[in-house]
Amino acid sequence: MKKLLLICMFVLAILPVLTRSAIAAGGPPADILKGVITEVNAADRTVVFEKGATKERLTLALPAEMKPEEVRLHKKVLVNLDKHASAPNVIKDISIMFMDMTLSKLLALLAIGGIGGLLSGFIGSGGAFVMTPAMMSLGVPGAVAVASNMCHKFPKAMVGAYKRWKYGQADVKLGLVMAATAIIGVQIGITIQKYILKMFGGAGSNLYISAVFMFVLVFVGGYVFLDALKLAKGGGEAKVGKLALRMQKINIPPMIHFKTANVTISAWVTVPVGVLTGMLAATIAVGGFVGVPGMIYVVGVSAVVASATELIIAFVMGAWGSVQWGLSGLIDIRLSLLLLATSLIGVQLGALGTTYVKDYIIKVVMATTMLIVAVSRGVKVPGYLADLELIQPIAPSTIAVLESISFWSLLLALGSAGLIIVVAMIKGMSADRRSKSTVTGVQHG
Amino acid sequence: MEATSHNKNMPAASGPAKSKPYLKTLIFGAISISAYVLLFNNEQLVTDTYTMGGWHWVFPVGTVFFFSFSHGAFASNLLSVLGLEAKKK
């Protein structure tokens, strides 16, 4: 108990220092202006922009391709300035901060929230990879989509973690150790990204993110998939892997015992797993895709405990991320709450679903999601290569087709994972009912 | 401990069904839906206030905490009413 308190105090002490810009997927962008456009001067192609917080008035120039009549007045907007323009204060793009809510958009948010919640409750992470692009396709600016998703993710993870802790699956100590080290990893990840952006520009950075994304998702996802396949053939009883057994034999203090996970392991093993999770969270925004397999194959935790513990990590990191985005004032609470309306049901359904399925089903869902998501990023690579002039330029129509394949494969990943979970749950529940009725029959007979 | 809870749960499977939390579902459902209606009816005021930045971060974070308790409790009771409960070991 004393150790747990010490860990909690360590986490609380380290968080404010390290999370100034530490959030999964990077910090809020500093070069975006938030405010209202109050006047448009069509003759000299300028607008008067009033900054939201300070009410400071700026005169900004419109870019050549933007028509003055397209600018919407007195609506809260995000203005992105063109850093590469010859003159200062030239607008790159303007996006309306709060999209107009229509019935179809509302239903889309509810549907994505529900399935994302189910996935999150079941495998510990998931949903973020599809929610942010889905919101952007509904007309939400990128920064607002990331912020609103983050603000919906942490209460969802909190409810899911609580449920799975009640089922005896979540290891709070492991979750806190992983979260604290993951935050250090986020800092390293952000530093690497900034360096790459400085050295190779936007396209280079995109290519780096895609390469990491593809490598991790194909390699780790493929490994999890093969393992799940082996388990399915062998009756589904998971054993601790060889690598994890070797890691558990490393006896370098401090040794930490994780009660729920039933593992005693050196901090020198858990810390790198946590740091890598954070680095990946900062790079590809889905740290859980390395955190959960890391806990399973390196630390030696069962898939059920690893996925439940991931929810604790998601809660800690998501909560601090939300505070950061909240400080920048970029959270559209309507989006967060609409996602929550169904995801709070989905996450609890997913959590209770884990009590009916064998351990390997969690691995099947995780691997399927990872491999399909890898496709979504893979199809974008040719575009980035062309931007870097490493291959011949690609026609805009081809780029559009690839973009649409990318988006629909994300939805396919979410849909297929949801389907596997529902089918496995129904099977598990009916098997449980049958066994109960057999017991009842024997007792009455 | 586990054996005790197992034995405790056994008669429930064969005996009369446990009463479902209809009242709790209704109460938490009413709180949750009222909060949603209140918030969306004042959409303009809410979105403006919540995005002022600085200390105003307490509004979105506090609101999602409130919803995670009220709507989370509603969702939990709703699943129980629908007969969807975790497997008893």
By the CB < 8 Å criterion, does B22 face chain A?
no
* CB-nearest partner of A345 from B53, B78, B87: B78
pLDDT at A100: 85
* CB-nearest partner of B61 from A101, A323, A443: A323
**Interatomic CA distance for residues A426 and A434, integer angstroms:** 12
Give the per-residue SS3 of A157-209.
HHHHHHHHHHCCCCCHHHHHHHHHHHHHHHHHHHHHHHHHHHHHHHHHHHHHH
Dig out the tokens for A81 from the structure.
């300035």
The answer to whether residue A371 is domain-embedded is yes
- Lowest-confidence range among A122-136, A237-251, B9-23? B9-23
Averaged pLDDT score across all residues of chain A: 85
By the CB < 8 Å criterion, does A336 face chain B?
yes
Instruction: Of A51-60, B8-17, B67-76, give the range with the top mean pLDDT.
Output: B67-76
**Interatomic CA distance for residues A80 and A94, integer angstroms:** 6
Across the range A319-326, mean pLDDT stands at 87
- Domain CATH number, residue A85: 2.40.50.320
* CB-nearest partner of A352 from B13, B85, B89: B85
Res. A217 pLDDT band, cuts 50 70 90:
confident
pLDDT at A350: 94
Kind of pairing, strands A91-96 and A57-61?
unpaired
**Are A59 and A130 part of one and the same domain?**
no
The residue to which tokens 């800690």 are assigned: A316
A332 contacts A98 by C-beta, under 8 angstroms: yes
**Are A47 and A124 part of one and the same domain?**
no
pLDDT at A10: 52
The answer to whether residue A396 is domain-embedded is yes
Q: Which residues pair with A90 in a beta bridge?
A: A61
pLDDT at B12: 42
**Are A36 and A139 part of one and the same domain?**
no
Q: Do A340 and B57 touch (CB under 8 A)?
A: no
pLDDT at A31: 67
Per-residue pLDDT reduced to its tens digit, A161-212: 999 999 999 999 999 999 999 988 888 888 888 888 878 777 777 788 888 8
Contact residues for A131 (Cβ-Cβ < 8 A; gap 6+)? A112, A113, A116, A145, A149, A152, A339
Across the range A134-157, mean pLDDT stands at 88
Q: Do A440 and B14 touch (CB under 8 A)?
A: yes
The answer to whether residue A431 is domain-embedded is no
* CB-nearest partner of B54 from A53, A156, A440: A53
The whole-angstrom distance between residue A353's C-alpha and the CA centroid of its chain comes to 21
Across the range A88-106, mean pLDDT stands at 87
| The domain boundary residue, chosen from A43, A62, A96 | A96
pLDDT at A385: 83
Alpha helix locations (H) across A240-332? Answer: 242-249, 267-284, 288-294, 303-327
Q: Which domain holds residue A66?
A: 32-96
pLDDT greater than 70 at residue A361 = yes
By the CB < 8 Å criterion, does A39 face chain B?
no
pLDDT greater than 60 at residue B1 = no
Across the range B13-23, mean pLDDT stands at 70
Q: Do B53 and A76 touch (CB under 8 A)?
A: no
In chain A, residues with a C-beta closer than 8 Å to the C-beta of B89 are: 355
Chain A nearest-CA distance from B53, in A, is 4
**Are A211 and A305 part of one and the same domain?**
yes
- Lowest-confidence range among A79-88, A293-302, A357-366? A79-88
User: Nearest chain B Cα to A351, which residue?
Assistant: B86
Please give the tally of structural domains in chain A. Answer: 2
pLDDT greater than 80 at residue A24 = no
Per-residue pLDDT reduced to its tens digit, A39-90: 999 988 999 999 877 788 999 999 888 888 888 888 888 888 887 777 888 8
Chain B nearest-CA distance from A300, in A, is 23
Q: Do A34 and B51 touch (CB under 8 A)?
A: yes
Q: Is A87 left (phi over 0), alpha (psi -120 to 50) or beta?
A: beta
pLDDT at B53: 85
Chain B nearest-CA distance from A77, in A, is 11
In chain A, residues with a C-beta closer than 8 Å to the C-beta of B86 are: 167, 351-352, 355
Alpha helix locations (H) across A78-171? Answer: 103-123, 128-137, 142-166
CB burial string B31-45: b at 16+ within 10 A, e below = bbeebbeebeeeeee
Q: Do A344 and B86 touch (CB under 8 A)?
A: no
User: Nearest chain B Cα to A98, which residue?
Assistant: B47
Q: Look up the ipTM and state it.
A: 0.83
A170 contacts A311 by C-beta, under 8 angstroms: yes
Mutate to test the interface with A, among B44, B45, B68 (most CBs of A within 10 A): B68
**Are A54 and A187 part of one and the same domain?**
no
Residue A48, H or E segment = strand A46-51
User: Nearest chain A Cα to B66, which residue?
Assistant: A155
pLDDT greater than 50 at residue A20 = no
Nearest to A217 by CA among A350, A361, A360, A376: A376
CA separation, residue A169 to residues A5, A181, A258, B83 (Å) = 20, 21, 12, 22
CA angle in degrees (0–180, nearest 5) for A286-A292-A298: 130
Q: Percent of chain A at pLDDT above 90?
A: 36
Domain ranges of chain B: 21-81
pLDDT at A215: 86
- A and B: number of Cβ contacts within 8 A: 125
Q: Do A443 and B84 touch (CB under 8 A)?
A: no
The answer to whether residue A21 is domain-embedded is no
By the CB < 8 Å criterion, does B42 face chain A?
no
Q: How many CA atoms lie within 13 A of B21 on its CB side?
A: 15
DSSP track, A371-384: HHHHHHHHTTHHHH
pLDDT greater than 90 at residue A247 = no
pLDDT at A81: 84
* CB-nearest partner of B86 from A34, A154, A352: A352
| Between A216 and A3, residue with greater pLDDT | A216
**Are A169 and A244 part of one and the same domain?**
yes
pLDDT at B17: 57
**Are A255 and A184 part of one and the same domain?**
yes
pLDDT greater than 50 at residue A26 = no
Q: How many CA atoms lie within 13 A of A337 on its CB side?
A: 28
Res. A96 pLDDT band, cuts 50 70 90:
confident
* Terminal C-alpha separation, chain A: 49
pLDDT greater than 60 at residue B52 = yes
pLDDT at B4: 40
Across the range A354-381, mean pLDDT stands at 89
Q: Do B53 and A329 touch (CB under 8 A)?
A: yes
In chain B, residues with a C-beta closer than 8 Å to the C-beta of A53 are: 52-54
Q: Which residues pair with A46 in a beta bridge?
A: A41, A61
pLDDT at B11: 42
Q: Do B13 and A152 touch (CB under 8 A)?
A: no
Q: Tell me the residue type at A234.
A: G
The answer to whether residue A227 is domain-embedded is yes
pLDDT at A75: 86
| The domain boundary residue, chosen from A52, A74, A96 | A96
Q: What is the torsional sign of CA A298, A303, A305, A308?
A: positive
Across the range A395-419, mean pLDDT stands at 89
Across the range A147-158, mean pLDDT stands at 92
pLDDT greater than 70 at residue A27 = no
pLDDT greater than 90 at residue A365 = yes
* CB-nearest partner of B60 from A101, A163, A333: A333
What 8-state DSSP symbol labels residue A285? Answer: S
Q: What is the torsional sign of CA A300, A129, A161, A287?
A: positive
Q: Do B64 and A154 touch (CB under 8 A)?
A: yes
pLDDT at A206: 77
Kind of pairing, strands A91-96 and A76-81?
antiparallel
| Strand, coil or helix: A66 | coil
In chain B, residues with a C-beta closer than 8 Å to the C-beta of A101 are: 43
Across the range A284-308, mean pLDDT stands at 88
pLDDT at A30: 63
User: Nearest chain B Cα to A318, which residue?
Assistant: B61
By the CB < 8 Å criterion, does B57 face chain A?
yes
pTM: 0.85
**Are A210 and A248 part of one and the same domain?**
yes
**Interatomic CA distance for residues A298 and A273, integer angstroms:** 8
The answer to whether residue A69 is domain-embedded is yes
CA angle in degrees (0–180, nearest 5) for A131-A136-A142: 100
Q: Tell me the residue type at A213.
A: F
In chain B, residues with a C-beta closer than 8 Å to the C-beta of A120 are: none
pLDDT at A22: 40
Chain B nearest-CA distance from A443, in A, is 9
pLDDT greater than 80 at residue A2 = no
Q: Tell me the residue type at A250.
A: I
Chain B nearest-CA distance from A159, in A, is 7
pLDDT at A347: 96
